[in-house]
Amino acid sequence: MTEQRVCANGEGSLERYIQDCQDMASLISSVIESAEVIDNEGTYPNGVTALLRISGEMANKLASKLDSVKISKVQT
């Protein structure tokens, strides 16, 4: 029997789990890019702060998802 790592709640496949993580990483990149644009324009400094907080929270969630200790092993 082999072991396959899947998301902590036991739903879905490894490929879907990895895709979700990649999607989240792409979103973080987009949020940071948006913050850079707003910062360069100088139009909404509070918006930059908000976007950086959001991207930080998203990065923490992604790091938690990728923490192999938290990913359960399921017998396949």
Q: What is the predicted pLDDT for the residue at 67?
A: 83
Q: What is the predicted pLDDT for the residue at 66?
A: 86
Burial class (CB in 10 A: 0-12, 13-18, 19+), 31: buried
Q: Which residues of 50-68 are buried (b: 16+ CB within 10 A; e: fewer)?
A: ebeebbeebeeebeebeee
**Element spanning 5, H or E:** strand 3-5
Q: CA–CA separation, 56 vs 50, rounded Å? A: 10
Q: CA–CA separation, 19 vs 48, rounded Å? A: 28
What is the value of pTM for the model shown?
0.68
54-73 pLDDT per residue, tens: 999 999 999 988 886 666 66
Q: What is the predicted pLDDT for the residue at 65?
A: 86
* Residue ranges covered by each domain of the chain: 3-75
